[in-house]
Structure 1
Amino acid sequence: MGKKGDLSDFERGLIVGARRGGLSISETAAKLGFSRTTISRVYREWSEKEKISSDRKLCGRKCLVDVRGQRRMARLVQADRKATVTQITTRYNRGLQKSISERTTRRTLRQMGYSSRRSNRASLLSAKNKKLRLQFALDHQNWTIEDWKNVAWSNETQFLLQHSDGRVKICRQQHEIRDSSCLVSIVQTGSGGVMVWGIFSWHTLGPLVPIEQCYDATAYLSIVADHVHPFMSSVFPSSDGYFQQDNTPCHKADIISDWLLEHDNEFTVFKWPPQSPDLNPIEHLWDVVEQEIRIMDVQPTNLQQLRDAIMSIWTKLSKECFQYLVESMPGRIKAVLKAKGGPTRY
């Protein structure tokens, strides 16, 4: 693999997780697609310094936006906290001989400490929900990784054909999470997307189910009956598994509650705190799938191609990837405790 910018903390975490799981340097390199030198360096840095983040500077070709350019971009961001990337790019290029693209603007904003997240992760937390999140963290602060291995994580999401169909992605610095007064919005138009529901545990990936119809309680009942039930029975035959679902209205419908009650001797349903996508590791699996789609040599041009790409990428997710996410749960709980139920970096 040729030179590239330094790995993200997430990628470095995958490497450390794979090596700690017993894989050799060569096996880790083959599974994750990095060079053996990179695998060796990252794991050595972790072993010596016990840190995931890197102090290395980016390598490769010269950055199009230097320090002076970053200061210029920072002024544009501060002048209009709700400007789109398109607007920031246009304003930045005014009076310059060499213009930059929107892609360069996004990359520069990330380097400056602004991170893009789905808008539902950035919704403001109410005092009541902070209290519920804190209570959940207190109740599970002594859970070990072995405990979290007994949880099946589920959720639904939509993958968009053209990155976005009008939904907003929030781009803010770490200390500005969920601060509605300082948004940099990335808004693009698109032509629809594909909605899917998925489930996984530390032990295995479960099915990924395309949602073709209106996603209501009836549709969700079919999912829990046809997919949740066999998954829990297969992965947790001793009936010691926990099923996690969020508080989407159709998940709380009477017909769903009745079905879950009928099967309460087979698995336990988590009492999940509201507004807590940062506690659900499946959110990061969605990000991995989306990133893989966006780096495909041939981009999907219609919904069927997008659906096929999503399903294919899901089946190829490495065990090290989703196991590492489950193993991050103690850290997520500690982060919620530290934030007193508030938002976290996850």
Structure 2
Amino acid sequence: MGRGSPIPPMLRRKIVEQYQKGVSQRKIAKSLKLSSSTVHNIIQKFRESGTMSVRKGQGRKTILDARDLRALRRHCITYRNATVMEITTWAQEYFQKTLSVNTIHCAIRHCRLKLYRSKKKPYLNIIQKRRCFLWAKAHLKWTVAKWKTVLWSDESKFEVLFGKLGRHVIRTKEDKDNPSCYQRSVQKPASLMVWGCMSACGMGSLHIWKGTINAESIVRGSLLDPEYVSIFKITGKKKKKKKKKKKKKKKRKKKKKRIKPIAQSSL
């Protein structure tokens, strides 16, 4: 079993002071809630050397100290996309020490860092970021009722034949040449473009789109093709209710007009 943390200097001083007063080692251990062997070793060391300091730690020291770990952390944060092999070659040149890949991998964990698969996000340059900022600033004071009139749409491409398989596969060491463990790839896989929309009133249906998609093609397709007209009906559900109420009022007025001549004839 490994050794625990060393006894602090204040507690060592108390043991020596009580020993100099003539208190027995068993009573010192009982009063300070320590083992008798610990008290005996501290007193014996004080007799031999006259000091109470902790003996220098033994065993193999770590190759990278705290200063090296801070430098490694700065390098990993600066070059986030670097592989462990590239970081290892840099560390060997920078620290002038023989380091393995496993050592650097453990050191990265000690720096409270970990290797993850990066998320896929569209790249935005400075001009695109500025446009997004100006658009958000222009629509900052929009009310909830105004946002409900907006129709949100988006498109996505799906590979039909092979699909998008992940980079990782669960297999044994001997199954490396098994066809089911390959990451399949073709030069130009068959794909399908799908377009859909949603608003505050509900979601629209998905539609297969042929060709390229932009704002003009969406508006042209929604006006000319009768299939896409049903999409925009989700924004007009509230208006239909108002029209029904108006029709009921008109029917009531017509009934009153018919009753009037009958009442006059009876008189």
State if a TM-score over 0.5 links the two structures: no
Q: Larger Cα Rg: Structure 1 or Structure 2?
A: 2
Q: Which has the higher contact order (CA 8 A, sep 6+)?
A: 1
Return the TM-score normalized by structure 2. 0.34
